Amino acid sequence: MKPASKTTRAAWLLAPVVALALVACGPSAKQVEAQRAQAAQDDKEAAANALARNYLQAREAGQYELAQTYGNQLLRDAPDSVAAREVRATIEDTNVKVDEARDRHRLRQLWTYNTEFLEGGGDSNVVHTASILAEKDPNFNGDQVPVKMVLRRHPKWGRSLYLVVDHGTFDCAGKCQVPVQFDDQPPMSMAAEKSDQNRQGLFIDDEEKIRDALDKVRVVTVKTSIDGQPRTLSFEVGGFDRAQLERTLQ
């Protein structure tokens, strides 16, 4: 066997040195950890920025409940980010608008709209009604018999507004006066009379004044008496949909 050449022996001797040099040139464990931390921070900021963009887009589209979801997630996941600071500038307004939208939805749900077809049929022989129940009176300790306020369009009898009690009768001999109040305005005295056909109904004569106010007020309060017990009847009318009552059949 021939002895190794000087060149070969030199290569053997240099190989470990090169390997050590390569190891020495690579990142340290601390640098690797720092790189990983920076990558994680970059990912967190990118996610925060995406949530902020979604938040702003939802607000601009009037989708405040969706915007609130994005905003709350951002403030929870990345509260110290630049994106979170930008969202905080409008999140309170977003929360207010969400509460207002939920309240409007709740008020709309309080109303019931019905269409009744009379004998003979046809578009002109239809009764339209809109009705709403009185709220519970926290100051009344007796049996709070449910009372409903009804607006009606009748092809024969025209427009009317009446209260109807679930059971019992209104204390109104012939004609009487009932105080009617819109929100916090001073109450107005309005003429009323019992129904000839349904003794549980009380018609209020000034139907037009009440109907016209429904788009402008939140609560209509009527004070009356049922079976000898004074009742304060508050109707949260703020969700009234006039188009539902005024609609015509297609």
Dist CA 65 CA 149 (whole Å): 32
The model scores a pTM over 0.85: no
What pLDDT does 4 receive?
53
| Residue 38: pLDDT over 90 | no
Dist CA 163 CA 145 (whole Å): 12
Angle at alpha carbon of residue 74, lines to 70 and 78, rounded to 5°: 170
Residue from 244, 245, 242, 235 nearest 132 by CA? 235
Ramachandran region of residue 158, left (φ > 0), alpha (ψ -120 to 50) or beta? left
Dist CA 131 CA 59 (whole Å): 34
How confident is the model over 156-191, as pLDDT tens digits? 889 999 999 988 899 998 789 999 999 999 999 999
What pLDDT does 103 receive?
96
Tokens 């607006």 locate to 151
Residue 121 burial class via C-beta count within 10 angstroms: exposed 0-12, middle 13-18, buried 19 and up: exposed
Please, what are the domains in the chain?
Answer: 6-106 (no CATH), 110-246 (2.60.40.1880)
